[in-house]
Amino acid sequence: MLLGAACVIGGLQMPVVAAPAADAAAPVQITPNSGHHRRYHHYRRHHHRAKLAPAGRAMPTLDKSERAKINSNTVYVIAGRLISSYLRMTAEMSAAVDDGDNLRVLPMIGEGALHNIYDILYLKGVDVGILRLDSLESVRRSGDIPGLGENLKYITEFGNDEMHVIAPANITDIHQLAGKRVNVDIPGSGTNFSATAVFKKLGIDIVPVHLYEKQAFVQMHQGKVDADVSFGAAPLSGIAQFENADKRFHLIGVPYDKSLDDYYLPSQVSGKEYPNLLGKDEKVPTIAVGTMLAVFNLAPGSARYDRVAHFVTALFDKFPIMKTPPRHPAWKEINISATIPGWTRFKPAQDWIDKTLAAQKAAQGAVSANPPGPNDNPKVDAPKNVTASPKSD
């Protein structure tokens, strides 16, 4: 059974659903200023013709062909928890690519990056998901899922997740957390995996606590938990809303160390993103880990393959607007042409990139052969949302 709800994320009212059962029909979702209005009128016409059931009896349903039409162009994307950047960004994708009966994207609340691996591979109804590279590579190297590299393809890299550490004001160095009660999220979550790995690499022996973020925040104020760790694309809404009027807590730095260079890279968080936990112009160093938008290795020509290919084209075509406010700032970090070593891109995504780069090259060649005169406009109207070189670290 699908669980639907309207959720306001980043100023956008979006439908958010839990994972669907095998053959469940998608619920009717109505959101302002979108193609959902057109779907509403389609459903309304059919229900108007149907004889309403007496009170207390089940309402009539659409017939098989009508249900098939509703589901034929809907893509389900497993994201993260309600407060995660993943979920907000997936909702923003949905708003951008929605095209009435032609394409619909439903964000799904998930348990995070590690669970998403299994959901993409095994959970019926999940088409696409967001994965974190450290947990993904660890699972592949462990051999727990044979053929993982062949069964998962990436659509695009999806930016970086920063490590956020909230601690009392008297703790100024992450090594001071040794022996302290540190919340590292629930087992199986992406944050739990990444935080556990980082503390081990840094040789910091914490006392791990396993709570959801809001529970941890309450216990921090009660003095029952000393610190909290979260991974996600900054700014994270939960941390930005952390109550800290008395300035008892702050974000502490995570120094980059050679032991982290397998999956992690240097980054920073700032007071601009978290004025509740840092000074206005303050910046603290931290580390980040890459993510990717992934899909199961679908069979070419299948209905799901074609549906996801349609989604990829729509997303890439509209990618420039994803980088504009009020959407999450992390969109600006994403380079859809960047490659992810050791992984293979989903063919429709690679085809779009190849075609766009070829168009850019042809346009540049035309300009070189016919340089603009003094009264010509030198601007070339060619795609600008991919580049020939991948993003460097």
* 370: exposed, middle or buried (Cβ count in 10 Å: 0-12, 13-18, 19+): exposed
| 1 has a pLDDT exceeding 50 | no
Q: pLDDT tens digit string along 224-260?
A: 999 999 999 999 999 999 999 999 999 999 999 999 9
Q: What is the pLDDT of residue 392?
A: 34
Checking phi first, is residue 33 left (phi over 0); if not, alpha (psi -120 to 50) or beta?
left
The DSSP code for 20 is P
pLDDT cut 90: percent of the chain above it = 66
Q: What is the mean predicted confidence (pLDDT) over 8-34?
A: 40
pLDDT cut 70: percent of the chain above it = 78
Q: What is the pTM of this model?
A: 0.77
Q: Alpha-carbon distance 229 to 217, whole Å?
A: 11
Q: pLDDT tens digit string along 156-194?
A: 999 999 999 999 999 999 999 999 999 999 998 899 999
Residue showing tokens 């690519």: 97
List domains and CATH numbers for the chain.
Answer: 4-159+291-350 (3.40.190.10), 160-290 (3.40.190.10)
pLDDT classification of 311: cutoffs 50, 70, 90: very high
pLDDT classification of 390: cutoffs 50, 70, 90: very low
**Which ranges in the chain belong to alpha helices (H)?**
36-49, 64-72, 85-97, 113-122, 133-142, 148-151, 190-202, 213-221, 237-240, 303-317, 319-322, 347-369
Q: 48-62, 293-307, 313-327, 343-357: which has the minimum mean pLDDT?
A: 48-62
| C-alpha Rg value of the chain to the nearest Å | 23
Work out the angle between the directed axes of helices 303-317 and 85-97 (0-180°, nearest 10). 90
